[in-house]
Every structure is written in structure tokens, then in C-alpha cells.
Chains A and B, each alone.
Chain A
Amino acid sequence: MSPRIAIKDHIRESQLFTSRAIVAFIGVILALLAIVGRMVYLQIISHEHYTTLSQNNRVSIQPLAPTRGLIFDRNGVILAQNLPTYALEIVPERVKDLDKTIAELGKIIAITPADIERFHDRLKDKRRFQPVALRHRLSDEEVARLAVNRYRFPGIDIAARLMRDYPQANLAVHAVGYVGRINEKELQQIDPSNYAATTHIGKLGIEKAYEDLLHGTVGFQRVETNALGRTLRVLDRTPPVPGKNIVLTLDAELQRTAKQAMGDKRGAVVAIDPRNGDVLVMASLGDYDPNLFVNGIDHKTYNALQHSHAKPLFNRAMLGQYPPGSTIKPFIGLAGLVSDTITPKTQIFCRGWHTLKGDDHKYRDWKTTGHGMTNLKKAITESCDVFYYDLAQTMGIDLIHDLLAPFGFGAKTGIDIAGEASGILPSTAWKRRARGKPWYLGETLIAGIGQGYTLTTPLQLARATAIMGSRGHVVTPHLFDHAGLADSQQLDYQAPVAARDLDNIDPADWDEIINDMKNVVYGLHGTARRINHGQPYKIAGKTGTAQVFGIEQEEKYVAKDVAKRLRDHALFIAFAPVDDPKIAVAVVVENGGHGGSIAAPIAAAVIDQYLGDKP
């Protein structure tokens, strides 16, 4: 204990504190008196002034929602529109017994348990005195019945609303997407004043990607309200600016043809215009009706979609990653020519299998008897595997990687809607990075026939085919064509980065591969010769059959489906006309079997309709 403490005078300190506390208390009282003085000024002296201000405060500003822009296909077919509908809305604050009111309303119009469930969902995140919809799309009869009975239900209202509607339903759902109610997370990202009156926002596809164009600009009106906050009259009005109408590159009729040709099979069809990257067809099957999502989907329907074997919510065209199988062969063949690994005259003998030195594993050809003496032309026309085992072994995986990458394999295509898989174009560096393991020679061999690690999306395949068909003109696929602006101007699609064309490839090499692909359709032994029925234009293509590896997305299949699940995927890529391609197509049919018999006719149906219409 320090001696200083000894001289602490406790009694004096206590007295000092008490005197200071008294001073503080006087200060407290003075400050509170100052507040009382302020209240006297505000509440007594200026009372009348503020009462007047308070009454004038009945003018309030209301936001007006802009009309959302429409979406058309390239020929003017409406894909998304706004329909005037009547909705039954309730202001919960003005209803005494909500459950009883809903039950009573249920006697007048049909209200399903799903409607009630959605209603309660929406109750959770609404603003005060904001109406909440109980039923949408009321029929005229229902509106009439409600109008007659309305006096019995304070707090309910029949509201005319514009509702997003997709007249083509399932047709282009994976491209167009849909709108839905704005959720908590989106609320953080949007400009609150521009969305002040907006209830829906693009959730997927074009609706999401071009939300800014489609939404428009909010308007405002100043209204006079009564003491209860009800609008009495509109004082002035700044009308909202409607959203821009968007025209897509998609061809709705062509899309319909593609889907009809697919029938009830699962898979994807993508068609691109090689000249400019216009996406003409983006079909993914199974599919679903986007109208289900506009006003919130009930859990039962959603779960049914979520757990369906057909995976309807999954956009196979962009997100489905499939081994390209033999459709990779024209590209690797071209790589062989470009790198001078082979010439068109190079021949090998195919005896039905290939082995590596010092390894007795047989890499088999699909044709067990072998193709005999085989050059590049025959290897593409008849899809000889052994030729490609040999070619891949000579080139090595890294050279293959470097020469295939310019065709867009293993990278996102840069399409203008979100949610695209990048696929895999393997290399030794990739395997070390992604798997942490060295590359094995055997893996190079199976990569030569598009198996193993190689994965592509149908969109990537269609784009690579377009690049092949146009002899190296690299395009970025896009769904947006243009949007109408004010003063009859229009906003055209702008590619994010100008792509560099593949202009250092010898024209003779292009000729060789393209002729070989033509031979797939027109050759005596061509694997897709069945689609040649004397069209006035020439088609070049390549079939593919991809072995199904363990696919996680299909894990939940029941036992009886296993056999089907293990069936190969059928693929086909094609472009036409050969000399001046206007369309490039990629078709993937899941568990379809052989590319030539299953996938090729679907591509042919698309090409025939597209070119048949345009002589």
C-alpha cells in the first residue's frame, strides 16, 4: 500500500462528491426545464401553426409502376406480355379475423389451399397497409360475385393489375426465363426509388439479364388523402416510362420444330447463325411452364418439378455438360492437319483396337471387326476410333488442348444470359490444377474420341460447329437482338469483346475437314446418311455417341430406370448450307443411343425447316 493512500481524506472526498452531485442534479433539472420550455414553445405557443402543417400533410407522393417491356422472337411472335387481370386483394390491417374472412370468401369464389399458403407467405414481408393478393386471375363471373358481396368484407379489394404472361408457355422457358416477386435479397440490390411500385423482377434468362431495359422508369403522382390515408384526388402526375420491348434472335417456330422432333426425349437442341452468333434455337427438355412462377409457386408443384426425373428446371442447353464423343473428331482432325501431325493422305490400319506399348489394355473401336486401312476422310465419315487413338497419342494432350481452345471448348461462350457451365477441355496443367494428379497417356487416347474428362455443353458444341462451318469466324452466341428505344431508334446487341477470327489456318485444311463432314451425310458409309433426302442445300455434320459416366444429377433414379440411364447419349452436330452456312446445330439426346439414328434426324428437321423457309 503506498503512503499516498494514507493521506486520502475519505470524509472530505465524500463531501466533495455530494456537493458535486447536488450541482449535477441542479444541472439535470435545468436541462429538463429547457426541454419543457421547448415543449411549451412547440405544443402551446406554436400549436396552431403545427396543426395547420399537420393537416396539409395529407398530400402524399405515390409511385406508379412502369409497364414491363414485351419480349418477341425474331419474327414478332410474342414470348412475354402483360395481361390485365383482376386480383382479390386484402389489407390485413383492416380485417378483424383473417381466417374467417378467407373461409367466407371461399364460399363465394374458389380458393385453394395453395392460394392460402402463398397468401401467408406474402404476409411475412409486406409493408404496412399494403394489400396482399389472395387470388389472381379472377374470372369475370368471380369478379361479379365478389362485387356483389363486397359490402360484407371490409378490407378486401378487387384490383386490376397487369400480370406477366408467357403465351408460349413451355416453349422457350429456358431462354426467356420468368419474373417473380421481388425477394429480400433482390431488395438489397435494386434502386429502391425506381422499384417503389414494382412487385416483380426478372428471375431467370432474358427476363433477368435485361431487367434494366425491360423494367422502365417509375412515375409519381401527388395525391390528397383523407385522415385515414385513402386517396381523394390526384393533384399532379409524372407518368412512368414503360420498359423497352426486346426482340430476340430466337425463332419460335424453329424452336417448336426442334421440340416436336425431340418428342418426349430428354436433351437439348441449340442452333446458331454462324454469321453473327444469333441463337435461333435454345431448347432444353424437360421443361416447365414459366407462368407457374409469376405469382409464386406453391411448394407441392415446385417439389414435383424439383424432383422430377426429367429435371425440367435444369437448362441442359447451357448447363448440361456432356462428353462430346465422336463429335469432337472433326476438330481434332483439323488440329492434326494444322499441326502437320497428319496430312489428308496419312493412313493407318484399323484392326478394331489399339494398344499402348507395354500395356495389354485394348482401346477398342466401336466396330469390332475394324475399319481396315483408314485415312482422315474415312475416319470422320465412318467415325473410326482407332485412327483418333493414334492421332491423339502422336499429338499429345497439350497440343490438342491448345488447338481446340480457340473453338471455345472448356470456356464459357459469353452468351448474354446468366448460368452457363464452362465444360472441360483437359490438359496436363488442368489435371494437375483440378485433380492434383499427373496426366496418363491412356487418358490422351480416350480424349481423342471425346471421352474421359472432356465435357461440353450443347451451346459450346453449336458454337464450335458454327466456327467450323464459317471457316474460323468466331462469334459470341446471343439471344438479344435489339430493343426498341424512343424516336424509333433501336439498341442493337453489342458483343462484350470483339472475338478474333481463326485466320491463320490453311484454307485447304478447312476444305478437307468440311468435305469430310459433308461425307458423313452424303458418303456411302456416312454415319448420318439417313438424313440425306435430296435437299437443295448440302449439310455437313458429325455423329457422336457418348458413354454415360456416373452423372450426379441423375442419382435418384429408381432401379427400373438404371438400364435406360446407362444408355449412351446420342449427339449430332451439323451446319448448312456447306458453302455458306446460315445455321449450325448441336443436338444432345440423353440416353438416346446412337447419334446417327436418333440425334441426326432432329438436327435435320431444324435445318430443313429453317432453310426450307428461306430459299
Chain B
Amino acid sequence: MSETRSYGRWTDRRQQGSLSHRNLHLDWPLLLGLVVLSGISLVVLYSSGGENMDLIWRQCIRLGIAFGVMVFFAQIPPHHIERWTPWIYGAGLAMLAAVLIFGAIGKGAQRWLDLGLFRFQPSEIMKLAVPMMISWYLAENPLPPSRKALAIAALIIFVPAGLIVKQPDLGTALLIAMAGIFALLLSGVSWRLVGGFSVLGAAAAPLLWFFGMHDYQRQRVLTFLNPESDPLGAGYHIIQSKIAIGSGGLYGKGWLNGTQSQLEFLPERSTDFIFAVFAEEFGFFGVLVLLTIYLAVIARCLYIAVQAQDTFTRLLAGSLALTFFVYLVVNIGMVSGMLPVVGLPLPMISYGGTSMVTLMAAFGILMSIHTHRKLLTGG
């Protein structure tokens, strides 16, 4: 990599005198989608949390922090983000290693780094740092990437993913790997190569099963394949959540009237399984509306990516958009029994703080990309 790499300069590209110019570097269509999703989140949480206003206030505080983080990231011009990328990635790697070496044990797995004041999950950083680093690296080389570039890109993805698997947190590791792979796909890797690696990956799956997984992870996969085999243990989640969704029907049982969730049959109903509460109470049509909002958000993000002015921002925006999409699909797939339970929140809706802050930081970066103009200085 050349040390004399130029990151260019970006300035404001919002129209003078427009509404957005007088305010912050925000993308209003995207912001609208996020605000609507947050609103839905509060409505569903009120029901799933047993009409507990404390829960709602706490989620409001988290939303406030998350939107604050988004606004903050939106102010950073892309050339700064690009310049810091290798450092952020390096720091993230170092912290992952630190977690493995002296990570505090949280929830039986070593994922947290205790910084005295607060505990911190380095894998959260990697959710952003891996797509950033891949985009950074690929942007330096002509696209589509050469074989050598692909090999290095693979390292960039799989070193942190491997460290996270060791924690052990297979779900997050897979998602982070996906984010990197999306950047590669968007960069124009030939379809023949993509096909070849897919076949290779399928062949490697048995190896992963026998050598790469913990017992509890194997159990989750088995339970997914046949939830009825363990109705009081791990299969309980899936069975109950399918009952919740299915009994919702076309129109749903109505807000605050979902028996599955109100009578506490449904576990984790405010966090990972909140989609089941939504589907039970608002029914098929409600789900259609929700999916449409998500689709609009993803479409806007991809539009921002296509409109981006250089390779780094383009790849970054694209892979962040697709990462968001993957979170959505994996969560709903898991709750509706299409995918194994991996313990992943429904983006923007589930109760919880950490992953939402990461997500909003990503949206902040997208807004920054869309509201800054790259100066053509020959770089």
C-alpha cells in the first residue's frame, strides 16, 4: 500500500438555502424512515413490556443517544473517515485480541472488554470497521480486484471473524464476514469466482460442524432443524414464536391483545423475538407495512451508495446498506423459524442499546457520504 495515498477533500454538497443546509448534514428521506421505525419500536415495546413506561423511557434515552451518534457521524467528512479507517480497524483487532486474552466473562462467553467506566464489546466496532477496511483497501486498487487483492481482502475479513468465533460468538462473526463479502461482491468480483467460493463454502460446512462449533451451537442448529425435539428447552422459543406469528392471522389480534406475548409464553419478547409480538398483534398486513418501511430504508441507502462520488464511499455505503438488510432478514428468519436462533436483535425495533448505536453510526456515515462533495484536486 502506498504511503503517499491521497484521501482528497470533501466539502458540503447541500444546496445553498435549502432546508437541509440550514440544519445538519442529514438525509431527510433516510431520517424519516428511521424515525418511523423508532416510533413503531416504542409502540410494540409498550405492549411487549407489559405497558411498562419505565421501559419506554429507557428506550427513548437509548434512541436519543443513538440519534445523537448518527448526527455526530454525519458531520464527519468522508476523507476523515477514510483516513482513520486503518487505525480504527487496527484498534478493533487489538481489542478483540485483548478480549480473548483477559476478557471479562459475560454471559458465559468472552465478549466484553471492561474499561473501568463501562463494559464494551469490541465486536460491535468490527461491524463497521470490517466494511470500512475492505472498502479502503479495494478503493486503492483498480476494480474489479485482482486475485492478490482478493487474497488480502479475505485476510481483512477472516482475521477478525476468526477472533470473534473464538469468543465464541458465531452469529456476530458470520454477520461481520457477510458485511465484508458484500463489499467484495459490490466491487465487481466475477460471478465465476463467487460461484466457486460458494461451492467451496458449502463443502467446508461439515468441517465447521465437527471442528469449529461448540456443543451449544450444534444444539441450536439441531433444534432449528427440529424444534419439536426440545419443546421445553431451546425449541421452546421457536415453537412459541411461530404460534404467536401464526395466530396473528391477516389482521392481527390488536395492539396489547396478543395472548402469546401478554401471557408471557413468548420469551425474549422485548428483545430478539419482538417481531413475533408485532406479527401477533398487527397481523399479516402489519408485517407488510413494516417490511415496506424497511425496504424503503434499504433502497434509500443503496441509492446513496450509487450516488457516491468515489470508490471508497460507494463500497462502504453499499456494504453498510446490505449489512442492515442482513440483520433484518436473519432476525425475522430466526423468529419465523426459517433460520437457526443466533441471538440477533431486530434492527431499530428491539429493546437494547449497543447494537442500535452501531447501526445509527452506520446511518450517520451514509448521511455524511450523501451530504458532502468531493473536491476534484487531481487526487
Contact = CB atoms under 8 A, between A and B. Distances in A.
Interface string A48-69: 0111011001101000000000
A558 interface: no
Contacts of A50: 242-243, 245-247
Interface stretch (A35-43, A383-391, A480-488, A505-513): A35-43
Contacts of B295: 28-29, 32
A51 B322 contact: no
B279 interface: yes
Interface stretch (B20-28, B56-64, B280-288): B280-288
A399 B299 CA distance: 87
A4 interface: yes
Interface in B80-112: none
Interface residues of B, number: 59
Interface string B1-20: 01010100000000000000
A7 B298 contact: no
Interface in A72-118: 93
Contact of A31 (B260, B314, B325): B325
Interface stretch (B122-130, B167-175, B328-336): B328-336
A20 interface: yes
Contacts of A225: 263
Contact of A229 (B248, B260, B263): B263
Interface stretch (A10-18, A405-413, A492-500): A10-18
B124 to A, nearest CB: 24
B185 interface: yes
B325 A18 contact: no
Contact of A43 (B6, B246, B260): B246
Interface residues on A, range: 35 or more
B259 interface: yes
Contact of A57 (B265, B322, B337): B265
Interface in B168-189: 182, 185-188
B198 interface: no
Contact of A38 (B248, B288, B305, B338): B338
Contact of A20 (B186, B259, B263): B186
A43 B250 contact: yes
A31 B265 CA distance: 29
B243 A54 contact: yes
A229 B299 CA distance: 43
Interface stretch (B138-146, B155-163, B342-350): B138-146
A491 interface: no
Given A17-B314, A28-B295, A53 B247 contact: yes
Contact of A39 (B51, B247, B287): B287
A21 B305 contact: yes
Contact of A35 (B2, B51, B283, B329): B329
A16 B259 contact: no
A1 interface: yes
Contacts of A229: 262-264
A35 B314 contact: no
B341 interface: no
Interface in A285-322: none
Contact of A36 (B259, B291, B305): B291
A10 B310 CA distance: 8
Given A39-B287, A57-B265, A128-B264, A47 B314 contact: no
Interface of B is mostly: helix
Given A43-B245, A227-B259, A13 B311 contact: yes
A4 to B, nearest CB: 7
Contact of B260 (A8, A20, A49, A57): A57
B249 A47 contact: yes
A394 interface: no
A129 interface: yes
Contacts of A39: 245, 279, 284, 287-288, 336
B246 A46 contact: yes
Contact of B306 (A18, A28, A51): A18
A34 B329 CA distance: 10
Contact of B247 (A2, A40, A51): A51
Contact of B302 (A21, A34, A128, A129): A21
B134 interface: no
Nearest to A31: B329
B306 A21 contact: yes
Given A7-B142, A24-B302, A35-B291, A43 B248 contact: yes
A173 to B, nearest CB: 38
Contacts of A43: 245-246, 248-250, 279, 283-284, 287
Contacts of B141: 4
Interface in A466-491: none
A9 interface: yes
B50 interface: yes
Nearest to B315: A17
Given A18-B306, A43-B283, A54-B243, A35 B186 contact: no
12 contacts: A13-B142, A13-B311, A17-B318, A21-B186, A21-B306, A24-B182, A38-B333, A43-B245, A47-B247, A50-B242, A58-B263, A128-B52
Given A24-B182, A35-B332, A44-B284, 17 more contacts: A8-B142, A17-B314, A17-B315, A18-B306, A21-B318, A24-B185, A24-B318, A25-B298, A28-B295, A31-B329, A32-B291, A36-B291, A39-B287, A39-B288, A42-B279, A53-B243, A129-B50
The 8 lowest CB-CB distance pairs between A and B, nearest first, are A50-B246, A54-B247, A16-B188, A42-B246, A43-B284, A50-B247, A47-B249, A51-B247
Interface of A: 1-2, 4-5, 7-10, 13-14, 16-18, 20-21, 24-25, 28-29, 31-32, 34-36, 38-40, 42-44, 46-47, 49-51, 53-54, 57-58, 60, 93, 128-129, 225, 227, 229
